[in-house]
Structure 1
Amino acid sequence: MTNVAAVGEGESASRRGLAAALRRAAAESLLLLVPVIALDNDSTWRSPWQRRCHARIGAWWLALVIGARRARERADALDSRPEPFPAGMGEQASGVAGAGVAAAGVAAAAGLGGGPGAAVAVDDAVCFEPERLAELARRLRVAERQAARLAGDVGPLGRAAGACQGLDLVRAEAGVMAAAIDRRLAASAAAEASSPGWGGAGSILVRPHAPPARPRAEKASSAVAELVTAIGTNPLELGVRELRAIAEQLARLEAGVASQVISGLRGRPLQVLATAVALAPARLDLGTLNLLPAVVSIADVILRVAPSSMLGEIVQLFPWLDPPPGAGYGPWHRAGSSARSAAAGLVLHDHTGEPVWVRGATPSDVRQGRVGDCYLLAALIGIVRADPGLLRRNLRENPNGTVTVTFPGGAGSTPGPIAVTITRSLPEEAETQREIGAGAENADGDPELWVALYEKAYARLAGSYAGTDGGDPAVAMRQLTGVEADRVDPDQISVEGISARLAAGDVVTLSTRARATGSSGLVPGHAYAILASDPPTGRVLVRSPWDQTASDDRPVWRQWASLRPDVRTVQLGATGRG
């Protein structure tokens, strides 16, 4: 064995490259069969032969899991061992034949069966959807090609480590299964009475596939049974279309039984469903891309109707329901952890039981925290002045203590309306117990949560509180009202023009330049709301979202002419009222 000190830089670099390739192959191999599994269900085909194919696909999956684990183990060994590669690591017993034997053993241990001589019960007929079955054959061929590529990527070193077990099985059998499906489809189209199949031959009688009608749930127990059956036990068997169907089932739940149904799904069904929803973006194709919003809404529906005692469990299963603070806000610790008493870090503080509204929405309720979302809060201030009822209509309090915030203008490329359900837990500094975001109290110091909850829902859309740092008041206006806002140069609008827009019930905000160019008193790179104007004196009443004293950047009358040099853009938008 070569001495450690003699290992050259080139060999070390090669070792790192191999480790990275093994990890990539391991990650990709775990997703290899996801498109296939998504179609391998009763909606596509149903017969004894389908059950054999299903068993073989299950054996491939188990072997892929084992191979991926061994690939990662080999990659870890390459990273931690400075010595050169062990000699003689080539095509050894863990090659194609060894992988087949090992996977067959795994399949037998799991009760999968599926060998050529396996006996199956005789069914009266074979039911299938030709279009879905043809797509399944296509996906099998894609999996075969990808398995061959990944097997080449892991190389002799990965093969010797057993990383190719599942890849070799998929490469050897997926194409054969696809060809058998094609033969059966051709036989059906030609009205033939028999066709050779995977794992044996037999006669088939083809009849159109008629999925069983799902009875409408009338009681909680029947709804639970229906959903448990739909969810199953394997998240990889829940494709995007299946998840969309589950979303529709949840949305149809009667108000009186919804809470009981979610309680009945507690445990394994909810865990399987949460995993499948998290995997859904990786399973999308052009035909299912438009289904993603419905799939993502599953978590919101569950959080909205779940018993209050389950809210913490639901958020743990669907962690994106509580947006993280994000980079720049310190270490993040979930509520109840030992870090709550630490001198640094952030925790969630539960504000359940505190009022969302006290005396209705007023501009003085808005007090910006550490989060750089002044553009959003300036838009909220402007909307409160123009149409406070809009914000109340778009924030609904749910019986379990959660709230659902609706954004009529959507988010990004997703059109509105988008409904976001959140808990009343807000991130705060563990030591000072101060919120990092908008204040949870009004100007009088009384609890009033509506501003902080709007901010949290907006952070959900952005992925984190940090994701809301920096933005455009015009975009926030559109999302909050559903109406496009205008952006104008400050030199193109007068005090009389501002007065006319305010009188019409519009929202008016401004954003300042990154660097101050005059003595306006405005903060650079900040957003303000304009609440009033006085054309005879040329003044406007501006309000900063900052949480400061009444004498420091709260509503202040200023000369519009002195402000304009430091104003980058003025935003003007209607609220859709009337």
Structure 2
Amino acid sequence: MREGPAPTGGAVASAGTVDDLCRHAAALRRAATGVAAVLAGVRTTGGAGSPLRARLDGRVLVWQAALDADAEALRARAALLDRLAAGWALPTPGPWPAAAISPGPTSSRVPIVPAGPTVPIGPTVPIGPTVPIGPAEVAVGGIGGAAVRFDPVLLGALAARLRAAADRAAALGRVVAVAVGEADRTLTRMGAAGPGGPAGRGLRLVAVEAPAAAADIELRMARFAAAPITLRRVGPGDPSERPGRTPGGRPASPTALAVAAGLLALFDSGSRSIPDTPGVERLRAIRARLADLPGPIRAGVIGLLRGGPLTVLAAMAARLAGTPKPGAVLAAAELAGLADDLLAGAPPDLLGELVRALPWLEPAAPPPAGGERSGPVVGVDRSGDAIVRDGAEPGDVGQGAVADCYLAAALIGLARQDPALLAERLRRNPNGTVTVTLHPGSGAPVGVTVTATLPASRVSAPAPPGGGGGRGEAVQEIAMDGDNAAGQPELWPALYEKAYARLHGGYPAIGFGSASVALGTLTGRSVSRRAARETSVADLVALLGRGEVVVLATRSRTRPGGLVAAHAYPALAVDAARGRVLLRNPWDPAPGTDNVRWYAWSQVVADVHTVVHGPTR
């Protein structure tokens, strides 16, 4: 029973839509229940006063508050549908039909709420030797000097639960998006305006930050496991090194010992000649067994390859690269996959040696933005910065000096249509590297691991306030910006670009590429192309409405005052009533601007050669 008469003058449900409204309301309530329970089972471990526990507790409270807000918003939306089904009316929509305008670039950022005086845990937290963790409980100093005990088994379980919660949040985010979309489409068919506003902000926050928190825990465990496997030489002239126990060393499991022995046998540095190329099946077996090891143990096993074994690995890779035989090509591909595994799992202090031995693990640098006058390209370590801060957004992407507007446009389109996909396919490893999942040739997924060192050139900087005598020196990143539109560190566009460059042989190799190839590599789905002159505004509305990414590739010559020639623009929204399309120029915008502008399709269609479009999943 409702209180008072139903308002008049708005959209009223007909008998044919009441069942749909009730069904959508029930789906939203079920989703709300799931959203509130995403963090079920996630409990911190450790003694009172632990800095790690204090930081993680703070983040869990923030996550739960955001999830509760999500759940409440879904319940409120369901209540509106119930009221409409019962005969109440919603306000009539504005002068433009809701169906005529595809969703615009609304913000999906969730404000980060400080959890007391502590620093939030996540990819932005500097990792330092503050909480020693070993293979058994270890007493450490906590806040105020109190002893704190940690069990690595419990911490490993906590990391696993955090990753499981992130997976639940990502999956539930897709369910919520579908439920809200179906409800809003029903309201649109009735001519009613929905409550509006993005849903699932808390889910996106957990999907992004929980894996980062798990990686933080695993990194601490890896750093303080202190080489779980040690190497012992049998004799001064005996090349047969084998892993084992040294005085004071920690015991290694039989599985870890077997994997370590297999790696050492694979790259035996005792002989003067390069060992024979291992078979593909043997390489795959080693990779599979290495992947099955816990992170800290894996880092210890990989650490055994310092020096001679890495030199042998580099020589073996070089020899395979110069052998065109089919068997050698397959072995080279598998050996490259093993090298990627080593980069993702190596102890942090081995990364430099690994990249020096296998320089192709670091893509060839782009030329300096200012030419030779800028001096040599330098690397800026951004491993302590956030990968995805509060959800991937179109404004996070800014094309640098590399001529890969097509890739930037595809990333912007994905951030607009499916930001969760971009976050899901980035994994921060315990050693600070990041593994990016790509789909070469729109095919099977391939993990491409890159360091968070970004190419930059030296530039002059103004003298600091208060004097100091003249101008100083700073660095400016050459490729995609490592900061978002607000100037905050957010690395995901730069990491996708770096992985794409590594996949294609370096930054110089990805200039002037194909938007369709880039989009297919990012999504793994087939991509379509159509002539711009054969594409109408209604076609663009339909493509964006289906959730597809739409990129416009311009002609080599465009009209004066029109779109930039030989460039790529992602379409963010369409206003069917006015025949307009909202485009974003992927160039890094000037301060205070966003490079987003409405264009009349009838005017810019002459500048556009091809409309590239494709689904995200």
SS in 2 for 1:570: strand
Distance 2:366 2:483 in 1: 23
Confirm whether residue 504 of structure 1 aligns to residue 550 of structure 2. no
Which residue does the alignment assign to 2:264? 228
> CA contact under 8 A between 2:401 and 2:479: conserved in structure 1?
yes
> 1:240, 1:295 within 8 Å by CA — same for their partners in 2?
no
After superposition, the CA RMSD in angstroms is 2.4
**Contact 1:263–1:306, Cα closer than 8 Å, also in 2:** yes
Describe the superposition over 1:415-437 as per-residue Cα deviations: whole angstroms up to 9, x where unpaired.
43221101000000023411110
- The 1:288–1:514 alpha-carbon spacing in structure 2 relative to 1, beyond 3 Å, is same
* Higher Rg: 1
Deviation at 1:468, TM superposition (A): 0.7
2 CA distance for matches of 1:556 and 1:491?
21
1:336-375 correspondence to structure 2 within 5 Å: 344-375=375-406
* Aligned AA (1:248): A
Deviation at 1:239, TM superposition (A): 4.1
Tell me whether 1:255 sits opposite 2:321 in the alignment.
Answer: no
- Deviation, 1:387, is 0.9
- Residues 305 and 226 (structure 1), Cα distance of their counterparts in 2 relative to 1, 3 Å cut: same
C-alpha contact 2:558 2:565 (8 A) present in aligned 1: yes
Task: Report what 2:346 is aligned to.
Answer: 306
Equivalent-residue separation in structure 2 for 1:269 and 1:498 (angstroms) = 55
SS at match of 1:371: coil
Contact 1:513 1:568 in 2 (8 A): yes
Contact 1:411–1:461 (Cα < 8 Å) also in 2: no
Mapped partners of 1:395, 1:482: distance in 2 = 15
- Secondary structure of 2:391's aligned partner: coil
User: What is the distance in 2 between the residues matched to 1:551 and 1:534?
Assistant: 25
Tell me the amino acid that sits aligned with residue 391 of structure 1.
L
In the alignment, does 2:465 pair up with 1:435? no
In structure 2, how many angstroms separate the alpha carbons of the residues matched to 1:297 and 1:235?
A: 26
| Amino acid in structure 1 at the alignment position of 2:263 | L
1:286 Cα offset (Å): 2.6
CA distance in 2, matches of 1:273, 1:481: 32
| Separation in 1, partners of 2:329, 2:599 | 50
Change (3 A) 1:328 1:568: farther
Which stretches in structure 1 are left out of the alignment for 5+ residues? 1-215, 333-341
Q: Secondary structure at the match of 1:274?
A: helix
- Per-residue CA deviations over 1:35-67 (Å, capped at 9, x if unaligned) read xxxxxxxxxxxxxxxxxxxxxxxxxxxxxxxxx
Q: 2:367, 2:377 within 8 Å by CA — same for their partners in 1?
A: no
Please give the alpha-carbon distance, in whole angstroms, between the structure 1 residues aligned to 2:374 and 2:607: 40
Q: Which residue of 2 aligns with 1:542?
A: 583
Give the equivalent residue in structure 2 for 1:523.
564
SS of alignment partner, residue 439 of structure 1? coil
Counterpart for residue 451 of structure 1:
493
- Could you say if the C-alpha distance between residues 359 and 326 of structure 1 is closer, same or farther in structure 2, counting changes exceeding 3 Å? closer
Q: Which runs of 5+ in 2 are unaligned?
A: 1-251, 460-473
Question: Which residue of structure 2 aligns with residue 282 of structure 1?
Answer: 322
* Equivalent position amino acid for 1:428 in 2: A
The aligned counterpart of 2:363 is: 323
Preserved contact between residue 244 and residue 294 of structure 1 (Cα < 8 Å): no
Q: Report the equivalent of 1:532.
A: 573
Question: What residue in structure 2 maps to residue 59 of structure 1?
Answer: none
TM-score normalised over the length of structure 2: 0.54
* Residue identity matched to 1:427: P
Aligned partner of 1:271 among 311, 321, 337: 311
Q: Which has the higher contact order (CA 8 A, sep 6+)?
A: 2
The percentage of counterpart residues that share the same residue type is: 40
CA offsets 1:126-175 (integer angstroms, 9 cap, x no match): xxxxxxxxxxxxxxxxxxxxxxxxxxxxxxxxxxxxxxxxxxxxxxxxxx
Q: Is the 8 A contact 2:283 2:334 kept in 1?
A: no
TM-score (norm 1): 0.57
Aligned length, in residue pairs? 348
* Gap change, CA 1:275 and 1:243, over 3 Å in 2: farther
**CA distance, structure 1, for counterparts of residue 272 and residue 410 of structure 2:** 41
Q: 2: distance between equivalents of 1:423 and 1:345?
A: 19
SS at match of 1:293: helix
Contact kept? 1:518, 1:566, Cα under 8 Å: no
Which residue does 1:28 correspond to in 2?
A: none
**Post-superposition shift, 1:274?**
2.0
Cα shift at 1:226: 2.9
CA distance in 2, matches of 1:272, 1:447: 38
Residue 366 of structure 2 contacts residue 455 of structure 2 at CA under 8 Å; is this kept in 1? no
Contact 1:402–1:421 (Cα < 8 Å) also in 2: yes
CA 1:217–1:269 in structure 2 vs 1: closer, same or farther (change >3 Å)? farther
For 1:299, give the aligned amino acid: A
Q: Which amino acid aligns with 2:574?
A: S
